[in-house]
Structure 1
Amino acid sequence: MAYVSDFTKFINAWMAEHPEELEEQKKGRALWWDKPQTPAEQQANLASKVAQKPYPYQAD
């Protein structure tokens, strides 16, 4: 049997008692995360990325 934290148990029980909250959760996610992007926005996001050093804490 896999380990399940107390918090996960609490959330699973709470969601079982309040199924209407699933819809609220989806609305909140759509508000902040699930945004459609145009190809131009995707290109701008890719172009704005900065290359990361292999070890960021190394002094140059």
Structure 2
Amino acid sequence: MKAAESQPWRPFHQGYVSEFEHFMHGYLDQHPAAVAEQRRGWYIWWDRRQDFDARERARHDAVPTRPYYYR
């Protein structure tokens, strides 16, 4: 299976595949663990539970920013 065929349908895709995109599709086809590792990294850094109380405390404890920094 070609790398372009394994990708989901894209409505504005005109058939052009850049050299980088071609390389990445080939790499990901040969290294499926890379996708799993990428997802694991995403969950570590971005999909975290939010502590809304801590965010609210930080908002109230913050010092207001002056309107013009260069004074």
TM-score range, shorter chain: 0.5 to 0.7
Give distance in 2, aligned partners of 1:2 and 1:43: 48
Q: Which protein, 1 or 2, shows the higher relative CO under an 8 Å CA cutoff with sep ≥ 6?
A: 2
TM-score by length of 2: 0.48
Unaligned runs of 5+ in 2: 1-13, 60-71
Q: 1:8 to 1:43 in 2, by over 3 A?
A: farther
Q: Note if 1:24 corresponds to 2:37.
A: yes
Give distance in 1, aligned partners of 2:20 and 2:30: 15
TM-score by length of 1: 0.54
Aligned-pair identity (%) = 31
Q: Note if 1:3 corresponds to 2:16.
A: yes
Between the two proteins, the alignment pairs up a number of residues equal to 52
Unaligned runs of 5+ in 1: 48-60
Q: CA RMSD in A?
A: 2.9
What does 1:1-60 align with in structure 2 at a 5 Å threshold?
A: 1-40=14-53
The amino acid of 1:19's aligned partner reads P
Give distance in 1, aligned partners of 2:56 and 2:25: 39
